[in-house]
Amino acid sequence: MQLSTKNLLGIKDLSAEDISLILNTASQFKEVLQRPVKKVPSLRDITIVNLFYENSTRTRISFELAEKRLSADTINFSASASSVSKGETLLDTVNNILSMKVDMVVMRHSASGAPHFLAKHIPAAIVNAGDGINEHPTQALLDAFSIQEKTGSLEGKKVLLIGDIMHSRVALSNIYLLKKMGAEVMVAGPPTLIPTYIEQALQVKVEYNLKKALQWCDVANVLRIQLERQNQVLFSSLREYNLAYGVSKKLLDSLQKEIVIMHPGPINRGVEIDSDVADSSQSIILQQVENGVAVRMAVLYLLAGKKTE
């Protein structure tokens, strides 16, 4: 049994079996991370380059840790401190790195489709660590892993995504994954941040009233308001957004049930989520980060182990 794809460009390309394989392998790696020595020699002869054309804390550290715990050799590259500022193209940069015998590429890029473009031109396996407003597959996988760990399974779970659905690659990857694994998905947020035909295009429910949406769900994944990706102002003020769509303790207490709260980070405290919710026992935000390493180890292990034809 192995993955049906050579690269991890997006959840869109994966089958339900692929997703289960990654999640199952991740739970074995999670056990590895509890050992006195949290490292295995699996990828000892593999070299991985982390190409980050866009800023990142969690994802980058998480990938680097995952690589190191698999004993891979790693090279870090950030666009701002490189020859990219001298005008080198993406393909030239990557080909130059690959000529030094690098096996895998982990890439984050602000342009949607950048890793797909690269996949057409280079032989190395590519893992998408977020491309523009398209996908962030490893985030969706770690979200799914965390939901599974907390609630037992994904099948039939009602998952709500709140906030900036329009600009969120986390939302798109989550929707693809949850639908493939048999969960129900609803999106909630201001109409200006929800794509018009999302209901028909992706078979998700749409709700503009946050309280109604929270009442419906088992799990709420609160997305970050991405001010850097908005060319025009799509809501009048952060304070107004918080009043209408911020997840507060008071709102959660008014529901008749306890729901699981998630956030992919980084958190804008007091905007999309209040501090007392983010730090509460309902929130699994830090578990998500912890699981991220195990999930990325699984992805890298499964892609590196694929026979090169």
Partner 1 sequence: MKTILDKRQLHLTILRLAHQLLENHQNLDEVVFIGLQPRGVQISKRIVDTVRNLCVGQNIQYGILDITFYRDDVRKELHIANTTDIPFSIEGKAVILIDDVLYTGRTIRAALDALQDFGRPKKIELCVLVDRRFNRELPIQPDYCGKSIDTAYSQKVKVEWEREEVVLY
List contacts with partner 1 (CB under 8 A).
Answer: 1-2, 21, 24-25, 28-29, 31-32, 35-43, 45, 70, 301-302, 304-307
Give least dist CB 305 to partner 1, A.
Answer: 4
Please tell me the distance from the alpha carbon of residue 63 to that of residue 130, in angstroms, as a whole number.
Answer: 12
* DSSP string of 184-243, one letter each residue: EEEEES-GGGS-TTHHHHH--EEES-HHHHHHH-SEEEEPPP-GGG-SS--SS-HHHHHH
**How far is Cα 260 from Cα 137, in angstroms, rounded to an integer?**
21
Q: Please answer whether residues 94 and 51 qualify as being in contact, where contact means their C-beta atoms are separated by less than 8 angstroms.
A: yes
**Minimum distance of partner 1 from residue 30's CB (angstroms):** 11
The b/e string for 107-131 (b: 16+ C-beta within 10 A; e otherwise) is bbbeeebbbbebbeebebbbbbbbb
Contact by Cβ (8 Å): 87, 61: no
Q: Cβ of residue 182: shortest distance to partner 1, in angstroms?
A: 22
Closer of 285 and 299 to partner 1 (Cβ): 299
Q: Which residue, 39 or 239, has its beta carbon nearer to partner 1?
A: 39
Shortest separation between residue 172's beta carbon and partner 1, angstroms: 28
Question: Minimum distance from CB of 80 to partner 1 (Å)?
Answer: 34
Q: Which is nearer to partner 1, 19 or 79 (CB)?
A: 19
Contacts of 94 (CB under 8 A, 6+ apart): 51, 105, 118, 122
Question: Phi/psi of residue 76, each to 5°?
Answer: -110, 140
Q: Quick one: 232 or 308, whose CB is closer to partner 1?
A: 308
What is the nearest approach in angstroms of partner 1 to the Cβ of residue 16? 16
Q: Which is nearer to partner 1, 25 or 138 (CB)?
A: 25
Q: Which is nearer to partner 1, 289 or 304 (CB)?
A: 304
CB 223 within 8 A of CB 168: yes
Which CB sits closer to partner 1, 36 or 123?
36
Neighbours of 281 (CB within 10 A): 7
C-beta closer to partner 1: residue 37 or 100: 37
Tell me how far, at minimum, the Cβ of 102 lies from partner 1, in Å.
Answer: 15
Q: What is the dihedral of CA 294, 299, 305, 309, to 10 degrees?
A: 180
Beta bridge mates, 161:
187, 221
Please spell the DSSP secondary structure of 71-119, one letter per residue.
Answer: T-EEEEEEGGGSGGGGT--HHHHHHHHHTTT--EEEEEESSTTHHHHHH
Least spacing, CB of residue 78 vs partner 1, in Å:
29
The answer to whether 284 touches 146, Cβ cutoff 8 Å, is yes
